[in-house]
Amino acid sequence: MEGTSFEQVVDEVFSTQSAPQWWLVLATGIVALALVSTGGPWRLARNVVTIAHEGGHALVALASGRQLTGIRLHSDTSGVTVSRGRPDGIGMILTVFAGYIAPSVVGLFGVLFLLNNRITALLWISIILLAAMLLLIRNFYGVLSVVGTGALVFGVSWFTPEEVQAVFAYFFTWFMLVAGVRPVFELQAQRRRQPSPHSDADQLHRLTGVSGTVWVMVFGAVNLGALALGVWLLWNSAAPVL
C-alpha cells in the first residue's frame, strides 16, 4: 500500500483493483480444496474456520438482543461463545444455528467483494472484524489465534503488491466456501462416535424438538448450496476472459 495519509489509505482501500485472469481464480480454488482435504495442514487452517464459527454465534447473539459475555478459542480447534438472555425462543435458536453456516456466509460475502474487484476492501474489512472479535476473546490461545490471523491479513494488504493481494483474497474466499462443508461431516462423525448434548445440532434439537441429525443435514445443505453458488458466481465472472 502506497498511501501515506489517512485519506490516501482510505482511497486505496476502497478503490477497485484489476480483475484477475481466469487461471488464478481456478488455481486458488484448487489449492483451497487441496488444503481442506489434507490432515495436518487442515487442522492448522481450521482455526480460521473456528474464528468464523464463533464470530457467527456472537454476531447473531448481539443482533437478537442477547448479552455477549465472551468467546474462547481452543487449540483443538473447538470454541465456545457465551451469551446471556432467554434460554429458548427464536433468538437462541438463531444464535446456535449461525455457527456452522458462518464460514460459508463469510465466503459468499467475499465473493461479492471479488466480483466488484474490491480486493483490498475485503482484506481490510476482515481486519476490522477480527479486531472487533479480539475485544471479546477471553483466553490466551484465542488472542493468539485472532491476532495471528489479523497480522497475516494486514501484512498481505499493506506490504504486498496488487497481484499478491488478489491471490490471497481469492484463496481466502475459496477456502471459506470449501471449508464450511467439512466441519459438518466432522460434526456428524463426532455425534456417532461420542454423542454429546452440547453440540450445536443437539442444542437445536433441545430448543426445537427437531432431530439433531436433521439439523446436521440442514447445515450441510446450506453450506453446499453456498459453495455451489460461489463456484457459479466466481467462474462466470472469470469465464469471459477465456
Give residue 242's pLDDT.
43
Residue 241 has pLDDT above 60, yes or no: no
DSSP 172-187: HHHHHHHHTTHHHHHH
Give residue 17's pLDDT.
76
Q: Write down the residue that cell numbers 488478489 correspond to.
A: 166
DSSP state of 198: T
Instruction: Kindly state the percentage of the chain with pLDDT values over 70.
Output: 93
- Distance between CA 146 and CA 72 in Å, rounded? 11
Closest Cα to residue 185, out of 160, 209, 146, 221?
A: 221
Residues whose CB is less than 8 angstroms from the CB of residue 144 and which lie 6 or more positions away in sequence, other chains included: none
How confident is the model over 2-29, as pLDDT tens digits? 555 666 666 667 677 777 888 999 999 9
Task: Decide: pTM greater than 0.85.
Answer: yes
How confident is the model over 145-202, as pLDDT tens digits? 999 999 999 999 999 998 999 999 999 999 999 999 999 999 999 999 988 888 999 9
- Distance between CA 52 and CA 237 in Å, rounded? 26
